[in-house]
Chain A
Amino acid sequence: MSEIHNLSVADLTKALRTKSLGVEEVATHYLNRIKSENLGAFLSHDEELTIKAAQASQERINQNLAAPLEGVPIAHKDVFVTKDFPSTAGSKMLEGYRSSFDATVVSKFAQAGCISLGKLNCDEFAMGSSNENSAFGPALNPWDTGKVPGGSSGGSAAAVSARLTPAATGTDTGGSIRQPASFCGITGIKPTYGRASRYGMIAYASSLDQAGPMAKDAMDCALLLSAMCGPDLDRDSTSLDFPAEDFTKQLGQSIKGLKIGLPKEFFGDGLDHEVKSAIEQAQSVLKDLGASFVPISLPKTELSIPVYYIIAPAEASSNLSRFDGVRYGHRAKEYTDLMQMYKKSRAEGFGAEVKKRIMTGAYVLSHGYYDAYYLQAQKIRRMIAEDFKEAFTQCDLILGPVAPSTAWGIGEKTADPLSSYLADIFTLPASLAGLPAMSVPCGMSQTVKPLPIGMQLIGNYVQESKLLNVAHQYQLQTQWHTMSPADSNGLWGETK
């Protein structure tokens, strides 16, 4: 058997069920790797707690009461609130904050038998695409620790990539699962908006936020997604009233005759040539599997950037108002009156990018600007969804790059935030339309330290199974998803 940390969720589940591995043994293996990690992937872990949970899980296996993912370790992005670990959303504002309840997604994984390893680093309140906006320091890309892991679910991607956990949760508002998955060479899926409950997800932009799994391959993502989806109408009014399903069911299907759309706007000048050629190679693999390609157009692709950077900050400016220092979270030490208490607490508690988005959001919602910005953005958002509707009359799913380039250097875009906003161009449209989309490893750069390249699959509403099956069929033919970064620097995963 290969090393524990190279086992997929699917393999682990079987090994644990058949008792060829013990839950505590697996948990300890991962905890040891986590303890030695120096990637900034984890924000919190608790050995005692995890081991206790592992023992309880083993007991269930012994009594033949195993849940579907019994004993499989998982780690959660720190925007999911948890009773057992602090929940900070990567912000000083919530340093040390303990939630009185678990997010629905977190409880669902616990019900499915998963053992929580701890909480993962992310951009503050999920705002960013490099994980550099975390108040607790950046997470590093395990393939090249001088590069960013992407964001905002950077800790999740780095942890799965460095084999610090077999599975992680992420959240995607404008690409925050797909882009870090692409940068770190793992598989991640953002389901249709509303499929996974937002209850207990610290809100960034409510109309866009969506939870999803991040793991080694499509099969694992399908297993994890099956555990986390389903209606939660008593707690989240935007939850889709659509039954949970077993997303692994369709994974054996042939993709012969599948029509894949290639949006011309996704293959323009801004696209890195290495990324472009990796996608082209993936196309030929899919073609050999019987898929055909049709050119399509998503004409509003470019507008998705201003639309997103109006709507998301608008919602964020309001969502983050609750962090006022009154009931929980950071409160300034000294203040003379209420107004000063608010101002100082928020000035000290929030980082620069969060403040920037709050201010942008307050501006676009303010009297006299609402119509020109927010309302206009909402109109174009509907047009973007219409573009997809039109596109799906011509194809079954859409293929393109996740990001215009591979991971960039740490600090490289700090001075020019606009360039990192622009890099979101291929992930934003699906987010704005609420469509399911995933990132699948499809190549490596030719650089001295090779960096992963991801391809993006976008499906129609609630067609996650179709996406996962195409990715799975592709992964049966390719090895990209099996590659893991070598720890030549001793930064993580030294198992004794």
Chain B
Amino acid sequence: MNQPSPKSIPASAEASPLVQGYEVVIGFETHAQLQTNSKIFSRASTHFGAKPNTQACAVDLALPGALPVMNKRAVECAIRLGLALGSHVAHRSIFARKNYFYPDLPKGYQISQFEIPVVQGGEVSFFVGTTPKSVRLVRAHLEEDAGKSLHEDFVGMSGIDLNRAGTPLLEIVTEPDMRSSQEAVAYAKELHKIVTWIQVCDGNMQEGSFRCDANVSVRKPGAALGTRREIKNLNSFKFMQQAIDYEVRWQIEQLEDGKAIEQATVLFDPETGETRSMRTKEDAADYRYFPDPDLPPLVIEPEWIEEIRNSMPELPRAMAERFVSTYGLPDYDATTLTQSPQMANYFEATVKDCGQAKLASNWIMGELSRRLNEVSTDIDACPVSSHQLAELITNIANGEISNNSGKLLLDALWSDPKAQIKTLIETKGLKQVNDSAALEKLIDDVLAANADNVAQFKAGKEKAFNALIGQAMKASKGQANPQQLTELLKKKLS
């Protein structure tokens, strides 16, 4: 097993932000629910939201005589993650039983991986603001989820829903490499991006498809690691940051009061914004792990790994680097456009049509994203297609319409996606005036009407020039080609 050796834990780097003189140390355990049609060891459906206990077969119910059979797709997901994170995919890994009694754990044990996990090592790299950061992984192992206990709906009793029992999970465990709640959240967001990008997890945090536990401790710089407390089930990035910040303050307060931190598992309560202890180390159960005799070792042949490697999509980091080198985009643009494969694809499709990478980037990150956010819509469901956006951009690039007219055009397309751009430009009168004669006439009128400004300009006041441009643009109802207008005005005044 890959245990973090003290040496491998980075010494408190200068860059680590201290909180009241303490260094924060955070490690993550994330449960990613795998995108499979059926459960990890049975053929029952994993579809979310079915009526209680309608998606639990003999294996999930742990009926006498039922046996587990490995779902190949779940293993494929593990391999994909391993490849995406530069991990070692074990040729041979072992399923073990974690024994404990609980009503929503039908077999009385959870099938997990203990000593030899399928994914070993690897790292997640990302930016915290503009600072690059890398978090090392210890492992990722396959395991089954438990069912759910429902305490609310039954007076004096608990209900058990076993639909979730046997749902495949990958538990992704990091080294304690994060040094602030910002880094922790950035890590979680990056991991979330990767698992959804490579389609091993739908990333739905509300439905529990991506659940994070944070191990948090604090120490004086240079000191040995402090005692950690584990915050369970952080199911939104917002709560994650709040919970860690609260936990850090609480731990520092304890230490400053001369109290010791006791190893514990805590829950974050979004209502109070506080963490509270669920159980301490003394309550820790002896899980009596041992290799599951119902499942032979999981053997993954190198050919299978290669097959999957060849089917992997370009990963977000590589894609962002390519956007910089191929399209000359700034890092910020490239990172933003690779938040999801859908956005990246939309961008590339737009560029393919119009050849204007920076303009496409600006429009997608700006006007398009703003409108999508307003109506909480994914770019997949954007009413304006990449072809339409490309056509719009082309019209701006060749001076057919102005940038401002482009925004009006986008609005018009948004409400009527079937409309022809050409027709819209005509009917809405968005066409830019590029006709020199017409513009000259217009400028002559403006100069005649604003003699004082002309005088000021000639007296050396540069500002007066801008006022004249403004007047001319106004007279053209915004349709004058600004570049042409500036040049003509300069000529007239010289």
Question: Which residues on A are within 8 Å of B, measured CB to CB?
Answer: 80-81, 87, 89, 94, 97, 99-101, 103, 198-203, 205-207, 233-238, 314-315, 317-318, 320-322, 324, 326-328, 338, 342, 362, 365-367, 370, 374
CB-defined contacts of B58 to chain A, threshold 8 Å: 100-101
| Residues 52-67 of B contacting A (Cβ, < 8 Å) | 58, 61-67
Q: Contact at B67–A328, with CB atoms within 8 Å?
A: no
Please measure, in the bound complex, the distance between the C-alpha atom of A447 and the C-alpha atom of B64, giving whole angstroms: 42
Q: Contact at B108–A318, with CB atoms within 8 Å?
A: yes
Q: Contact at A338–B67, with CB atoms within 8 Å?
A: no
- For A366, give its contact among B67, B70, B286, B294 (CB under 8 Å): B286
Q: Contact at A324–B108, with CB atoms within 8 Å?
A: yes
A378 to chain B, nearest CB (A): 9
Q: Contact at A238–B294, with CB atoms within 8 Å?
A: yes
Q: Contact at B288–A362, with CB atoms within 8 Å?
A: yes
Binds A, one of B95-103, B301-309, B351-359: B95-103
CB-defined contacts of B293 to chain A, threshold 8 Å: 205-207, 238, 315
**Chain A to chain B contacts (Cβ below 8 Å), 17 pairs:** A80-B65, A99-B65, A199-B66, A200-B66, A233-B69, A235-B69, A237-B69, A237-B70, A238-B67, A314-B290, A320-B108, A321-B109, A322-B107, A326-B160, A328-B63, A365-B288, A365-B290
Q: Contact at A199–B65, with CB atoms within 8 Å?
A: yes
Q: Contact at B106–A318, with CB atoms within 8 Å?
A: no
B68 in contact (CB, < 8 A): yes
B295 in contact (CB, < 8 A): yes
Q: Contact at B101–A237, with CB atoms within 8 Å?
A: no
Please measure, in the bound complex, the distance between the C-alpha atom of A99 and the C-alpha atom of B103, giving whole angstroms: 20
What 9 A-B pairs are tightest by C-beta distance, nearest first? A321-B108, A206-B293, A207-B293, A365-B288, A200-B65, A322-B62, A81-B65, A202-B64, A367-B286
Centre residue among B64, B103, B107, B109 by max chain A CB count within 10 A: B64
CB-defined contacts of A342 to chain B, threshold 8 Å: 101
CB-defined contacts of A365 to chain B, threshold 8 Å: 99, 288-290
- For A326, give its contact among B66, B103, B290 (CB under 8 Å): B103
B470 in contact (CB, < 8 A): no
Q: Contact at B106–A327, with CB atoms within 8 Å?
A: yes
Please measure, in the bound complex, the distance between the C-alpha atom of A87 and the C-alpha atom of B65, giving whole angstroms: 10
Please measure, in the bound complex, the distance between the C-alpha atom of A324 and the C-alpha atom of B288, giving whole angstroms: 18
Centre residue among B68, B106, B108 by max chain A CB count within 10 A: B108
B296 in contact (CB, < 8 A): yes
CB-defined contacts of B63 to chain A, threshold 8 Å: 81, 99-101, 328
B33-73 to A contact mask, C-beta < 8 Å, 1/0: 00000000000000000000000001001111111111000
Known: A81-B65, A99-B63. A322 touches B108 (CB 8 A): yes
Please measure, in the bound complex, the distance between the C-alpha atom of A92 and the C-alpha atom of B114, giving whole angstroms: 34
Count how many pairs of residues, one from A and one from B, have CB atoms less than 8 Å apart in the complex.
99
Please measure, in the bound complex, the distance between the C-alpha atom of A99 and the C-alpha atom of B65, giving whole angstroms: 9
- For B290, give its contact among A89, A198, A205, A370 (CB under 8 Å): A370
- For B99, give its contact among A80, A103, A203, A321 (CB under 8 Å): A321
CB-defined contacts of A203 to chain B, threshold 8 Å: 65, 67, 294
B244 to chain A, nearest CB (A): 31
Number of interface residues of B (CB under 8 A): 28
Residue of B nearest to A81 (CB): B65
- For B67, give its contact among A97, A100, A237, A326 (CB under 8 Å): A237
CB-defined contacts of A235 to chain B, threshold 8 Å: 67, 69
Please measure, in the bound complex, the distance between the C-alpha atom of A236 and the C-alpha atom of B97, giving whole angstroms: 17
- For A238, give its contact among B109, B289, B290, B296 (CB under 8 Å): B296
Question: What 12 additional pairs, Cβ within 8 angstroms, besides A99-B65, A374-B290?
Answer: A80-B65, A94-B64, A101-B65, A198-B67, A199-B67, A200-B65, A236-B67, A237-B70, A237-B296, A322-B62, A327-B160, A365-B99
CB-defined contacts of A328 to chain B, threshold 8 Å: 63
CB-defined contacts of A103 to chain B, threshold 8 Å: 65
B344 to chain A, nearest CB (A): 40
Q: Contact at A237–B294, with CB atoms within 8 Å?
A: yes
Residue of B nearest to A102 (CB): B65
| Residues 275-305 of B contacting A (Cβ, < 8 Å) | 286, 288-290, 293-296
CB-defined contacts of B106 to chain A, threshold 8 Å: 322, 326-327
- For B64, give its contact among A89, A326, A370 (CB under 8 Å): A89
Please measure, in the bound complex, the distance between the C-alpha atom of A352 and the C-alpha atom of B438, giving whole angstroms: 106
A316 to chain B, nearest CB (A): 11
B255 to chain A, nearest CB (A): 30
A94 to chain B, nearest CB (A): 7
Please measure, in the bound complex, the distance between the C-alpha atom of A326 and the C-alpha atom of B288, giving whole angstroms: 22
Please measure, in the bound complex, the distance between the C-alpha atom of A97 and the C-alpha atom of B61, giving whole angstroms: 14
Q: Contact at B61–A327, with CB atoms within 8 Å?
A: yes
Residue of A nearest to B286 (CB): A367
Q: Contact at A99–B286, with CB atoms within 8 Å?
A: no
A66 to chain B, nearest CB (A): 29
Please measure, in the bound complex, the distance between the C-alpha atom of A366 and the C-alpha atom of B101, giving whole angstroms: 15
Please measure, in the bound complex, the distance between the C-alpha atom of A371 and the C-alpha atom of B295, giving whole angstroms: 21
CB-defined contacts of A80 to chain B, threshold 8 Å: 65
Centre residue among A103, A237, A338 by max chain B CB count within 10 A: A237
A494 to chain B, nearest CB (A): 35
CB-defined contacts of A201 to chain B, threshold 8 Å: 65
CB-defined contacts of B70 to chain A, threshold 8 Å: 237
CB-defined contacts of B294 to chain A, threshold 8 Å: 203, 206, 237-238
Residue of A nearest to B41 (CB): A237
Please measure, in the bound complex, the distance between the C-alpha atom of A31 and the C-alpha atom of B97, giving whole angstroms: 44
CB-defined contacts of B66 to chain A, threshold 8 Å: 199-200
Please measure, in the bound complex, the distance between the C-alpha atom of A365 and the C-alpha atom of B99, giving whole angstroms: 10
CB-defined contacts of B295 to chain A, threshold 8 Å: 237-238
Please measure, in the bound complex, the distance between the C-alpha atom of A8 and the C-alpha atom of B70, giving whole angstroms: 41
A193 to chain B, nearest CB (A): 11
Please measure, in the bound complex, the distance between the C-alpha atom of A201 and the C-alpha atom of B66, giving whole angstroms: 8
Known: A81-B65, A324-B101. A318 touches B109 (CB 8 A): yes
Residue of B nearest to A201 (CB): B65
CB-defined contacts of A366 to chain B, threshold 8 Å: 286, 288
Q: Contact at A99–B62, with CB atoms within 8 Å?
A: no
Q: Contact at A99–B67, with CB atoms within 8 Å?
A: no
CB-defined contacts of B286 to chain A, threshold 8 Å: 366-367
Please measure, in the bound complex, the distance between the C-alpha atom of A321 and the C-alpha atom of B102, giving whole angstroms: 10
